[in-house]
Amino acid sequence: MKHDFSVSVLRKRLFAVSMAITFLFCFLAARFLYVQVFWQEELLARALDQWTREIPIDAERGLITDRNGVTLADNSTAYTVYARANAVTEKEATAKRLAELLKIDGGRLLEKLNTVKASEITVAKQIEKERIAALAEAALDGVYYSRDNVRKYPKGSLLCQVLGFTSSDGVGASGLEKYYDKYLSGTDGELLFETDLVGVDLQGAVAAYYPAEDGLHIQTTLDYGIQEVVEAALLKTAAEYSPKAASCIVLDPNTFEILAMANYPSYDLNEIPRDDLETLNALSRNRLVSDIYEPGSTFKIVTAAATVQESLNGNPSAYSTKHVFSSSRTRAVDGTTVKCWSNHANGRHSNQTLADALNNSCNPCFTDIALSLGKETFYDYLSAFGFGNTTGLDFSGEALGMLLPRSAVRNCDLARIGFGQTIAVTGLQLACATAAAVNGGYYYTPHLVKKIYASDGYEAVRVTPTLRNRTIGEKASRIVAEMLEGVVRDGSGKKAYIEGYRVGGKTGVFGLTCVIIAMKKRGIMA
């Protein structure tokens, strides 16, 4: 019995040892697998970092041009100088020489060379080519440089809120520079030199070159010539009337391409006030996209378009173009009173048709229209014309506007929405809605970019007009366009009249929404 017990104990011990050995083997095998397969890339990167010195090669940022190829955002070449402390053999002499060549604080640089543990120290940025040539002649141990691309804007303040700017590191910070940064930025390369463990270059080592991939270029829908005219007009307006701000947008109603977009005041993109963030934020904000306001009488274009279409649809509640509105100066709605801006003393507001109401910008008439259409029908048109939603412009920070929910709208609210109060829109929303009222009723997604392409001509992206929805029909749109032409020819928009051209528009307390319906002079279409 004792012998059997000893054998049993021995077997158990042997089994335990075998299991321990098996477990240890499996653990080592698993660890080996992890190191060789799963940890391989990280270990290779660490080894490469230990045994090499990297000189970054910046990718050249893509150009931004107008629709005709005029360069709006370009690059100039500068250099960044680096030092590897472990490879600098004579630190004091090197710091002194760099201070002379680069006009920097030599004492501070020497302190860094003696104390900073990082493999590379950035000595100076944006150094001119002439100083780099002198630095190359000095041939200082442990000092090297790489090319940078400094963003330049040949047109200065032109389109400053649209183009935006880049950070000091060359990353898009606002405007198109930010929105399309992934295309413009490209991919940086590097030049690798073999070193020993302390970072000193190895004699006879061969450098490895990984080229940078330059960014793609962007051709916008903008027209430099039109933009110049628009910005000159804003400056003239500012000089004459001293407004706090002024904005203008020019949109092709057939494609919703943005031809010009300007805001006053502006700033020079080559002299960005980076140290004054409050001023920078105020000047760089594209108010046509990000700010909202009550459109006032310019909104009557939408109300008129809705009633014309509903009348053509056979809606008995809708006012037709032949309807004669009450000549009363006021309307009472839910205990509130809506008044016309005019006192109606001259008789111009008597026996008004819809065209007359647009010419005279008579608020009570548009109150009547909104109430006759009713909340559900009118809100359907507001939605079709894009209000209460973004337009989808390829630009960051677009505002939704402000539109009361259907469930919360009272008759007094509806009455005021009819003539552009109790609703807030962006300048872009109003421009798109106006275009969709006169172009046959087609609402496209507005855009600022036509194509994104490489230097060799390869097109990565081409933007074509995208129909978003229909607002009104062709016939209704033609009627609205003719009435708006009458506003400029005979009504409140006479200052926009151009002899020999057909121009339609609508005035408002915040300015003039002017839509070019057709341009005709001496029988020749332009």
Q: What is the DSSP string of 316-385?
A: TTS--TT--B---SEEEETTEEEE-SS--TTSTTSSB-HHHHHHHT-HHHHHHHHHHHHHHHHHHHHHHT
Which pairing describes strands 64-65 and 143-152: parallel, antiparallel, or unpaired?
A: unpaired
pLDDT along the chain (526 residues), means of 10: 61 76 79 69 57 71 97 91 83 88 87 77 85 87 82 96 92 96 90 56 59 93 97 94 92 96 96 92 96 94 97 94 89 90 71 91 94 97 97 96 95 96 96 95 98 95 96 97 92 84 83 52 36
Say whether 292-525 and 53-220 share the same fold: no
CA distance 155 to 142: 40
The continuous run of DSSP H or E covering 507 comes out as strand 502-508
Find the catalytic residue in 185, 284, 297, 492.
297
Domain edges within the chain: 53-220, 292-525
- The verdict on whether 297 is a catalytic residue reads yes
Query: What's the pLDDT score for residue 166?
Result: 95
Give the closest residue to 318 by CA, choosing from 381, 412, 251, 261. 381
CA distance 189 to 147: 11
Query: What's the pLDDT score for residue 353?
Result: 94
* Residue 452 and residue 459 in contact, taking contact as beta carbons nearer than 8 Å: yes
Query: What's the pLDDT score for residue 32?
Result: 73
Query: What's the pLDDT score for residue 234?
Result: 94
* Residue 321 and residue 355 in contact, taking contact as beta carbons nearer than 8 Å: yes
Map residue 148 onto helix, strand or coil: strand
* Residue 67 and residue 219 in contact, taking contact as beta carbons nearer than 8 Å: yes
Query: Of 3.40.50.300, 3.40.710.10, 1.10.287.70, 1.20.120.530, which CATH number belongs to 292-525?
Result: 3.40.710.10
CA distance 250 to 260: 5
CA distance 363 to 326: 12
Query: What's the pLDDT score for residue 522?
Result: 36
Query: What's the pLDDT score for residue 525?
Result: 33
CA distance 155 to 13: 87
The residues that bridge with 195 in the sheet, in sequence order, are 201
CA distance 193 to 201: 7
CA distance 300 to 296: 8
Is 53-220 in CATH node 3.30.1540.10? no
Q: How many CA atoms lie within 13 A of 516 on its CB side?
A: 14
CA distance 441 to 277: 42
Query: What's the pLDDT score for residue 196?
Result: 52
Query: What's the pLDDT score for residue 206?
Result: 57
CA distance 326 to 143: 85
Query: What's the pLDDT score for residue 26?
Result: 83
Residue 500 backbone phi and psi in degrees, to 5: 90, -5
Query: How many other CB atoms are found less than 10 A from the CB of residue 317?
Result: 13
Query: What's the pLDDT score for residue 3?
Result: 54
Q: End-to-end alpha-carbon separation of the chain, Å?
A: 117
